[in-house]
Structure 1
Amino acid sequence: MHGGSYYNLALKDIVQGFSKWQLAWLLGIGDIKQRYARSKLGQFWITLSMLIFIVAIGVVYSFLFHQEIKSFLPYVACNYVAWTWLSTSIIESSTVFVQAQGYIKQTPIPRSIFALRTIIRNFVNFLHNIIIIFLVFVCMLHPISWNMFLVIPGIFFILCCGFFSSLCLGVICTRFRDLPQIVQAIMQILMFLTPVMWPVSSLSKNALAIVEYNPMAALMHVVSKPFLGIVPDMSDYILSSITLLVLMIGSGYIFARFRARIVYWL
């Protein structure tokens, strides 16, 4: 098949996937309902456990880093909620087609629908976890700023990065089944290299590159900083844009070139 045909078919797949967003929505919401079937609190079990974790880590780390609890706990809450959404989107991208093999083997459904399914599922979880941020704000008497509306472009960045990483990692990890575990291990390492639970001010000048050139930190900051009433640095937006562009190019090639082989690898 001619190279141009691969890209045309891939683009057609994505367009059809977005045109059938209602199906992706039903699949994503169905995943959440199925996971918490017959549970009284349902999805809020994750929210409750995350709230307990954030409070515990916030209190302990505030003593370790000599931070004022009233400002540090909201910092940890915003960062951890944003990081959980970002990291979960990437980790689940590695199994997006494997989990959908029943649909893929039986129906000629656009493959991109399953990427949208993962994005919708994780975005709904993120919306649930936002409750934690406002609870912490109220308890710590943290002010709410109009800068919070800047979280909207940050959400756009993570949604787009999550979609393209699903197309890219989803295909690669369908072919190589050991990669999902590697992706998960890498994300655990990146969590310690990203200022999720430690302040950037604790770094020396020589170590600031850990944050300045960390695309995960930039993507997290364009969401977490507006919640805190802080305008993200231009460097955060630039690095987030570069990351998105790289994912678009990489996923465009991989999805177009190997999209037809997904069903044979399942």
Structure 2
Amino acid sequence: MIKAAIQKVYRYRWLLQQLVNRDLKVKYKRSYLGYLWSLLNPLLMMVVVSIVFSQVFRYDIENFPLYLLCGQVLFNFFSEATTMAMHSIQQSAGLIKKVYMPKYILPLSKVCSSCVNLLWSLVAIIIMLLVSQVTWHTTVLLFPIPLIYLFLLSYGIGLFMSVLATYFRDMIHLYSVFVQALMYMTPIFYPVEVLPPEAFAIVNYNPLYHIATYFRKVVLWGTLPSVQDNLICIAFAVGALLIGGIVFKKYQKNFLLYI
């Protein structure tokens, strides 16, 4: 099933490219700064949140702005990719009714367009690494690995949510609440050490916590992730992709009845 899906994506790669280009053009239409907003937005938010949390809560985190930026960039990608993928079937109702196409390309195009924004946000991290004069470690070369885990996780959840949102429109509103709660369950602006054991037990089941920690290890702390770190991230990513793919394949045949 996975091999056949990959072959279809390759066969329809031109369509995928056009869908991604369309999303990017729509997002930055009539914007003077365009793609630069993907660079400026995380930097501006980092400045604001850093001032608030460093002065009010005074968490003792070394290189707190970079710590915050690493978590923020990854979470923003997840939030944007899954939310856009959730709307992908409804937004492309006219296209689905007119031509045949592998429908799972629609959520994939949303996640891929979010990847373009992620790449610009990574430039913001590089700028902060240079400005902060943080020591660069060779482990930074491993930064694509957690991003691959995050991409697979986001696509899997995007597939699942696109089905739910097509069949039950209320899920669109519920998911926004879930994402908001997930943000506070992910140690983006606070150290996980401040959590009581009961709260940490819950956060430990959050895949974004493990992926964000992996990313910080290789980019910020110069620590080589363990085999266990990789296995946990792989389990979450592949698990989400399999569940999302199975649910999507089972229910996609009835999309025309609900869009």
Alignment TM-score, normalising by the size of structure 2 = 0.89
**Residue 244 of structure 2 aligns with which residue?**
251
Q: Structure 1 residues 17, 39: CA separation in 2 closer, same or farther (over 3 Å shift)?
A: same
**Residue 3 of structure 1 aligns with which residue?**
none
**Residue 105 of structure 2 aligns with which residue?**
113
Q: Report the secondary structure of 1:109's partner residue.
A: coil
Question: What is the distance in 1 between the residues matched to 2:111 and 2:10?
Answer: 12
Q: Structure 1 residues 153, 49: CA separation in 2 closer, same or farther (over 3 Å shift)?
A: closer
Q: Which stretch has the larger CA shift, 168-177 or 121-130?
A: 168-177
> Are 2:80 and 1:88 equivalent residues in the alignment?
yes
Aligned partners of 2:150 and 2:211 also within 8 Å? yes
**Residue 130 of structure 1 aligns with which residue?**
122
**Residue 218 of structure 1 aligns with which residue?**
210
Q: Which stretch has the larger CA shift, 31-40 or 113-122?
A: 31-40
Question: What is the distance in 2 between the residues matched to 1:207 and 1:27?
Answer: 41
**Residue 4 of structure 1 aligns with which residue?**
none
Which segments of structure 1 move beyond 4 Å, counting only runs of 4 or more?
Answer: 10-14, 67-70
**Residue 50 of structure 1 aligns with which residue?**
42
**Residue 183 of structure 2 aligns with which residue?**
191
How far residue 14 of structure 1 moved from its aligned partner, in angstroms, is 5.5
> Are 2:154 and 1:170 equivalent residues in the alignment?
no
Q: Structure 2 regions of 5+ residues with no counterpart?
A: none
Q: Which stretch has the larger CA shift, 221-230 or 49-58?
A: 221-230
**Residue 69 of structure 2 aligns with which residue?**
77
Aligned partners of 2:139 and 2:223 also within 8 Å? yes
Name the amino acid aligned to 1:48: L
RMSD value, Cα:
2.3
Q: Structure 1 residues 29, 76: CA separation in 2 closer, same or farther (over 3 Å shift)?
A: same
Question: What is the distance in 1 between the residues matched to 2:124 and 2:106?
Answer: 28
Name the amino acid aligned to 1:149: L
**Residue 224 of structure 2 aligns with which residue?**
231
> Are 2:23 and 1:61 equivalent residues in the alignment?
no
Alignment TM-score, normalising by the size of structure 1 = 0.87
- Number of matched residues? 258
Question: What is the distance in 2 between the residues matched to 1:76 and 1:32?
Answer: 26
**Residue 265 of structure 1 aligns with which residue?**
258
Percentage identity across paired residues of the two chains: 24
Name the amino acid aligned to 2:125: I
How far residue 76 of structure 1 moved from its aligned partner, in angstroms, is 0.5
Question: What is the distance in 1 between the residues matched to 2:40 and 2:233?
Answer: 30
